[in-house]
Structure 1
């Protein structure tokens, strides 16, 4: 069964075509689950830590792109009070032959580290890229990873997204 948040996020605007989320609640609504109360900056830092944990699980030599998280709205919630964080980044293995090794390691290591793989296999693109979607209830986050073997250079494309945060009372959502 695919997670409710993953399915909802995959229906996001085309500019964010490979976003995932997390199945953090057992209800049957399409609502994105709560990630708690936080400022935008603190939530951004937490999402970057999740990305760093995933980077460590890759286990092959390579380089990650230098990108910062961004603040997004939570559908059906007041955008002045609620937000979620998206951190999109890429991993470029030192050797192209290590790309499949990196993806296989993630498929093996993510479940050992609290992630539930909710989807794995070829995507619908003409390249039939291997895609992995996983949720982590503890981190209140989801990840969507695409193995882009035919890119020049080959890479893993990763989107880490949080559940919906609510800003503390008296604060506003900071957009960046």
Structure 2
């Protein structure tokens, strides 16, 4: 489906077919709060000292069905664990391997990233909610970049309640 003009949204009859599920109607603030809580639990599951970045989760377009961000949205939360000792990264990834399944996550990839550094990466899907996460232990980085663990947590698509102005959400 081509969405070329403003306000182009997939018809409700096609949304389920395109996504494979029917988006839940949910207030943006509730979806953002849920993702922030999930991120906090991921920090705890790593079990190593460090400082998580303080970037809050934010709504963005569910581009598959609503690239103009008028009715459907996702919540994206990219963040990092800084000031963590790279020697602890293996422990963090091992903790995640054992703890994610206990927390309802199904690991879909566990291995080296497709990069020269071959840093470890875990991707997973939360089986109940459909959230997805990618966790990269960046022990080796180019230039003067310090080691950190990068996390990107993304919700499934949601439908904003009627009357919601997503441009102000």
Q: Normalization by structure 1: what TM-score? A: 0.76
Tell which structure's C-alpha radius of gyration is larger: 2
Partner in structure 1 of residue 134 of structure 2: 144
Q: Identify unmatched segments of 5+ residues in structure 2.
A: 1-16
Structure 1 residues 175, 100: CA separation in 2 closer, same or farther (over 3 Å shift)? farther
Which residue of 14, 34, 39 maps to 1:46? 34
SS in 2 for 1:97: helix
Give SS of 1:159's match.
strand
Spell out structure 1 runs of 4+ moving beyond 4 A. 32-35
Deviations, residues 45-104 of structure 1 (Å, cap 9, x unaligned): 111011011111011111111112222211332331100010000113543211111111
Kindly report the root-mean-square deviation, in angstroms, between the aligned alpha carbons of the 2 structures: 1.9
TM-score using structure 2 length: 0.79
Q: Which moved more, 1:113-122 or 1:92-101?
A: 92-101
Q: CA, structure 1 residues 62+35, in 2 after alignment: closer, same or farther (shift >3 Å)? A: farther
5+ residue gaps in structure 1? 1-28
In the aligned structure 2, how far is the partner of 1:38 from the partner of 1:57? 27
How many residues were matched structurally? 148
Tell me, what secondary structure is at the counterpart of 1:49?
helix
What is the CA deviation profile of residues 25-61 of structure 1, one whole-angstrom value per residue up to 9, with x for unaligned ones?
A: xxxx662645511122221111101101111101111
1:119-134 to structure 2, matched below 5 A, reads 119-134=109-124
Whether 1:156 aligns to 2:149 is yes
Distance 1:34 1:97, change over 3 A: farther
Partner SS, residue 166 of structure 2: coil
Indicate conservation of the 8 Å contact 1:142/1:160, yes or no. Answer: yes
Q: Give the drift of 1:145.
A: 0.6
C-alpha contact (below 8 Å) 1:92/1:154 kept by paired residues? yes
CA contact (8 A) 2:70 2:167 kept: no
Name which structure has the greater RCO, CA cutoff 8 Å, separation 6+.
Answer: 1
Question: 2:162 is matched with which residue?
Answer: 169
Aligned equivalents of 2:148, 2:21: Cα separation in 1: 30
